[in-house]
Amino acid sequence: MTDENTPDQPGTGRWLPPAPNPRQLRSEVDRAATIDRSPEALSLRTLVWNGTPACPDAPGRHRDGDGADQPHVRLTSPALPAGRPVPIRRRRWAVSGLTALACLVALVSYLGSGRAPDAPSGSQGRTPVSQPSGGFAAVPDAPWDEKPSPGLRPREQPTADGPADPPAGRATGSDPGAPKPATSPPAPRLAPPTLTVTRHDVPDVVDLTAGGGRDWAHWGLRGGDSVVRKRGGTGEIIDEGGQGYRGSYDSNPESFRWIDGTPVASSGPTPTGVYTCGRGNGFALAVAGSGETRTAQLYAGLWMARGRLDVRLTTGGPTTTLRMEDRHTNRTARFEIRFRVPRGEQVKIRWITEVDHHGQCGNVDLQAVTVS
């Protein structure tokens, strides 16, 4: 151990004071660093950064506790006691502390500035982007055509290439496994209305039940206003009346029968029917359409007259006309009417006396109508 009164070098005659306490030295260095602009602080900084003594005539040395010689410097700053040496190792600690303190002060000053940069040119009339706290740079304005429309969600923002992407989870593209959207079948095209009318002979006995699968009607069984209809029929046959007095008769050349009628459930062969006398008088009937092709059979005749049959569709189009005549006696016929009209439309049938050859009661007559 070297005593503190022992000369540092033999024969020099110089005695060095004892080494200062490290905590005291750190406190003194910190206090000296607070003097930013004084010549003493500048001299201390020169000493710290250059590592040379401020006074060339004070290169004293001090022996460390482990026997190694350590250079000492003598400060002339009034902030430290005159002539007190500072070990290089402690001086480095002081330098590190001052450096960390300076960095911390600079960082705090930088983060606390909070000043936004000037708005770029060309943004007049538009709200500049506000500067966030913390010193981050402001985001410059994007070109007008690249900005999203206000009020739209991100997926609804228009793009230059096309519409926005679909929401997540929706199948896109031509993936064969993706479910296909349900499409309603195209509306069926309505078939155009059709109408054909032909005349045929009447058999001796007409079975209305067999011929009228959908509907049938018979007139004159119990008088001029008597009508028997198919029980459970569609009701497609409509009696619209007609001009002239309507009477019944029982001398028809052919007869009719049925087993599914109402109000008369069944009847054997009956030659009954109805008639009306005079020119221009006759019967008016109609059959309702269903959109499908139907066949109506009209059983009618005349006595000493010329009868005219007019058939037309309520959907429009020409009227089909057929004539039948007998000057001396009676004649009957089966008029077959094939037609197709949409539901709600009808085929109109008019059977009248066009010429009266009797002079008093030349007439047309009506027996039955079936629809299949």
Cα 200 from chain centroid (whole Å): 61
Sequence-separated contacts (24+) of 271-274 with Cβ below 8 Å: 272/218, 272/220, 272/221, 272/248, 272/367, 273/219, 273/220, 273/248, 273/249, 273/301, 273/365, 273/366, 273/367, 274/219, 274/220, 274/224, 274/246, 274/247, 274/248, 274/249, 274/365, 274/366
Instruction: Tell me what pLDDT residue 121 has.
Output: 47
Query: What are the distances in angstroms from CA 205 to CA 210, 248, 253?
Result: 12, 19, 10
Name the residue with higher pLDDT: 139 or 349.
349
**Mean pLDDT of the 64-78 span:** 45
Task: Give the range with max mean pLDDT: 161-170, 184-193, 294-303.
Answer: 294-303
At 320-331, the pLDDT tens digits run: 999 999 999 999
pLDDT exceeds 80 at position 192: yes
Which range (21-25, 65-69, 226-230) has the least confidence?
65-69
DSSP 74: B
Instruction: Tell me what pLDDT residue 27 has.
Output: 58
At 97-107, the pLDDT tens digits run: 777 787 777 77
Instruction: Tell me what pLDDT residue 87 has.
Output: 57
pLDDT exceeds 50 at position 332: yes
Q: Are 301 and 367 in contact (CB under 8 A)?
A: yes
At 117-175, the pLDDT tens digits run: 454 444 444 444 444 444 444 445 545 444 445 554 544 555 545 555 555 545 445 55
Which range (46-50, 61-65, 178-182, 303-307) has the least confidence?
61-65
Q: How far apart are CA 313 and CA 345, in angstroms?
A: 8
Which CATH number applies to 194-371? 2.60.120
Task: Give the range with max mean pLDDT: 15-19, 160-164, 188-192, 196-200.
Answer: 196-200
Q: Are 229 and 370 in contact (CB under 8 A)?
A: no
- Residue 157: Cβ within 10 Å count: 12
At 104-122, the pLDDT tens digits run: 777 766 666 554 445 444 4
Res. 356 pLDDT band, cuts 50 70 90: very high
Q: Residues of the chain with pLDDT > 90: what percent?
A: 47
Q: At what angle do helices 22-33 and 39-50 cross, to 10 degrees?
A: 120
Cα 130 from chain centroid (whole Å): 38
Comma-separated ranges of CATH 2.60.120 domains in the chain: 194-371
The alpha carbons of the chain give a radius of gyration, in whole angstroms, of 63
Q: Which residue is listed with tokens 């349900």?
A: 182
pLDDT exceeds 80 at position 297: yes
Q: How far apart are CA 286 and CA 282, in angstroms?
A: 14
Q: Residues of the chain with pLDDT > 70: what percent?
A: 54
> What string of H, E and C letters represents the secondary structure of 147-168?
CCCCCCCHHHCCCCCCCCCCCC
Q: How far apart are CA 80 and CA 252, in angstroms?
A: 154
